[in-house]
């Protein structure tokens, strides 16, 4: 089976359990949202998969082969991460060329093409780039490597809204031509809700939930309209959150949709995934 | 008049104009969204207001007094910024105490209280904090300073969704008790849409737009439903963007709302501010 299999992985830092007997799989050819709060254990697991740190126990299999210190496996996977693993004193164009020498599957022309779309100045040194453009450099590298498994760890940190949209567009276009496994760890849940197919939600070092986005979306819905009407409709509902905008209100409702009152000014729309996950990962949960 | 007045401010870096004859005011007692793309000039203007860099020409008045190197003025304003202006080797609790000695208006108890709400470990050194927690440290300081003008520059960078909600809640509660001027520079436009009252949008070193959020929201609306019905309804409309989710679609429409077809499965809701600003700041604009 083509997949990343995580088997009973445990990792402790001093006295804190970062991951506690975690088992699940990322299957081949899907786009995953890998979600969880700061400190939940996401980055620890990504670093174990990427062979940067080692689990205390358990193992990772990639395409059925143990991933630990296995070069044949690590040619198949690339992980874009928050940490800066490059010589920050080099210019972007020289970093591209340096990466091109190390990775057979790096597409140098594509890297320059993507950099152009983001107006990334390839003559600048990495350390002279703004935080947003440092993220853009890293996601450009990840999008230009033709490996079967790509992990994006906070790919849009510091990006403006236009560049975030551009990244999501490029990612989906790439996926249409080249169906590989893409794992996106992000805190901007609502923005990736219509890109990802499946969600793995980590909480306090354990898998809290793994499911299809479409199934999660059916857990509830949103109701929008004048605040008084929203409140009246929601009186007997299980509400996980509200947003207000002047006299208008949006309520995020768990459960199956009941009919809207006749002649009301209410409208119903899809579940808000971010509100759902905030609620699920609050102390106590739903 | 109580306000921050920006008067004909121009600033060049080498041959690049970062700000070009910019004039506008932040009025007293409002919450502003200070928006714009990466590189638009936002941080440059914030740094000029905060007296960290100087304009080539023009001036800033705060409560009618020139802000440049004026200590009486700078006791009234605090700017939380991306740059790390603190001794990163100190522990959070010692940084709080250090800030407390320099700022009369710093509320040390409040700082520890807010840190507790975010589970910020005050025994950790600043440099040992994750990016998300470095942001949390900075916004905690900003929320604990009782000055009449507070500028937040990317306050939620790296924060998870739960902590972003907590920040917005704390900000609004603080504002209800203590109506001061709050300026939020952020790329997460949609998340602050129901917090901010007025928007200043900077583009290519100029003010592109200054308006009330309620006025901007009236520029259009969103339509949600089965993709085919959405497409049919939108055929003669000015569409600034789409999102798709399986067979469902959201269209972001500019212009006044026309009636929905009878017996349709469509529903209408509020304008998406982020989509509007992405469109406004694209090459060519709307």
List, for residues B111-125, the tens digit of each pLDDT value: 999 999 999 999 999
- Mean pLDDT, residues A279-284: 80
Residue A247 predicted with pLDDT over 80: yes
Nearest residue to B81 via CA among B150, B8, B174, B133: B150
- Mean pLDDT, residues A220-241: 93
Residue B16 predicted with pLDDT over 90: no
Backbone region of residue B274 per phi and psi (left: phi > 0; alpha: psi in -120 to 50; beta: other values): alpha
Confidence (pLDDT) at B84: 62
- The B238-245 sheet, strands edge to edge: B238-245, B248-254, B220-226, B267-270
Q: Are A252 and A238 in contact (CB under 8 A)?
A: no
Half-sphere CA count of A89, side-chain side, radius 13 A: 0
Confidence (pLDDT) at A116: 97
Interchain contact, B282 vs A217, CB within 8 Å:
no
**Confidence band (pLDDT; 50, 70, 90) for A60?**
very high
Q: Which of A36, A162, A188 sits opposite B281 (nearest CB)?
A: A162
Q: How many CB pairs under 8 A join A and B?
A: 93
**Which stretch of A229-233, B86-90, B187-191 has the lowest confidence by average pLDDT?**
B86-90
Residue A235 predicted with pLDDT over 90: yes
Residue B1 predicted with pLDDT over 70: no
Q: What letters, b where the CB count within 10 A reaches 16 and e where it falls short, cover B209-238?
A: beeebeebbebbbbbbbebebbeebbeebe
Q: Which residues of B touch A82 (CB under 8 A)?
A: 131
Confidence (pLDDT) at A106: 94
Residue B83 predicted with pLDDT over 70: no
Residue A277 has φ and ψ, to the nearest 5°, of -75, -35
Q: Which residues of B touch A217 (CB under 8 A)?
A: 245
Greater model confidence, B82 or A191:
A191
- Mean pLDDT, residues A188-196: 93
Domain ranges of chain B: 3-214, 220-270
Q: Which residues of B touch A161 (CB under 8 A)?
A: 187, 189, 274, 277-278
- The A220-226 sheet, strands edge to edge: A238-245, A248-254, A220-226, A267-270
- Mean pLDDT, residues A99-107: 91
Nearest residue to B167 via CA among B189, B206, B135: B135
Cβ neighbours of residue A147 closer than 8 Å, sequence gap 6 or more: A75, A76, A77, A78, A105, A180
- The B57-62 sheet, strands edge to edge: B16-27, B3-13, B57-62, B65-66
C-alpha to C-alpha distance for A30 and A149, rounded to whole angstroms = 10
Greater model confidence, B263 or A4:
A4
Interchain contact, A161 vs B224, CB within 8 Å:
no
**Confidence band (pLDDT; 50, 70, 90) for B270?**
confident
Confidence (pLDDT) at A284: 59
Interchain contact, B38 vs A132, CB within 8 Å:
yes
Cβ neighbours of residue A215 closer than 8 Å, sequence gap 6 or more: none
Percent of chain B with pLDDT over 90: 76
Q: What is the mean pLDDT of chain A?
A: 92
Nearest CA in chain A to B40: A160
Give the tokens for residue B219. 């520029």
Confidence (pLDDT) at A228: 94
C-alpha to C-alpha distance for B212 and A260, rounded to whole angstroms = 31
Architecture of domain B3-214: 3-Layer(aba) Sandwich (3.40)
Backbone region of residue B2 per phi and psi (left: phi > 0; alpha: psi in -120 to 50; beta: other values): beta
- Mean pLDDT, residues A268-284: 87
Percent of chain A with pLDDT over 70: 97
Q: How many residues does chain A have?
A: 286
Interchain contact, B269 vs A269, CB within 8 Å:
yes
C-alpha to C-alpha distance for B98 and A265, rounded to whole angstroms = 54
List, for residues A16-59, the tens digit of each pLDDT value: 889 999 999 999 999 999 999 998 999 999 999 998 899 999 99
**Confidence band (pLDDT; 50, 70, 90) for B103?**
confident
**Confidence band (pLDDT; 50, 70, 90) for A286?**
low
Percent of chain B with pLDDT over 70: 97
C-alpha to C-alpha distance for B243 and B264, rounded to whole angstroms = 19
Nearest 5°: the CA angle A170, A175, A177 is 100
Architecture of domain A3-216: 3-Layer(aba) Sandwich (3.40)
- Mean pLDDT, residues B47-54: 91
State the ipTM, two decimals.
0.89
Interchain contact, A162 vs B282, CB within 8 Å:
yes
Residue A110 predicted with pLDDT over 80: yes
**Confidence band (pLDDT; 50, 70, 90) for A262?**
confident
B105 min Cα distance to partner chain A (Å): 31
- The A65-66 sheet, strands edge to edge: A16-27, A3-13, A57-62, A65-66
Residue B82 predicted with pLDDT over 70: no
């Amino acid at each position: 089976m083509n997949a990343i299999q995580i088997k009973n992985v445990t990792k402790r830092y001093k006295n804190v359990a970062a991951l506690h007997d975690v088992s699940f799989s990322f299957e081949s050819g899907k786009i995953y949202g890998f979600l969880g709060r700061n400190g939940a254990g996401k980055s620890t697991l990504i670093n174990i998969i990427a062979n940067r740190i080692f689990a205390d126990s358990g193992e990772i299999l990639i395409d059925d082969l143990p991933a630990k210190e296995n070069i044949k496996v690590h040619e198949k996977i690339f992980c874009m991460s928050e940490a800066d693993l490059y010589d920050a004193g080099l210019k972007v164009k020289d970093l591209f060329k340096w990466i091109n020498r190390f990775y057979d599957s790096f597409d140098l022309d594509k890297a320059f093409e993507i950099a152009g779309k983001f107006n990334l100045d390839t003559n600048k040194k990495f350390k002279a780039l703004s935080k947003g453009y440092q993220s853009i450099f890293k996601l450009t590298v990840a999008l230009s490597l033709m490996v079967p498994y790509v992990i994006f760890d906070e790919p849009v940190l510091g990006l403006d809204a236009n560049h975030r949209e551009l990244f999501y567009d490029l990612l989906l276009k790439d996926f249409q031509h080249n169906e590989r496994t893409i794992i996106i760890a992000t805190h901007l849940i609502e923005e990736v809700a219509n890109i990802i197919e499946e969600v793995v939600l980590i909480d306090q070092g354990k898998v809290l939930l793994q499911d299809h986005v479409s199934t999660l979306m059916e857990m509830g819905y949103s109701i929008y309209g004048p605040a008084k009407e929203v409140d009246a409709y929601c009186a007997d509902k299980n509400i996980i959150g509200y947003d207000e905008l002047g006299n208008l209100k949006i309520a995020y409702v768990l459960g199956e949709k009941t009919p809207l009152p006749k002649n009301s000014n209410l409208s119903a729309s899809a579940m808000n995934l971010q509100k759902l996950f905030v609620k699920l990962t609050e102390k106590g949960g739903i």
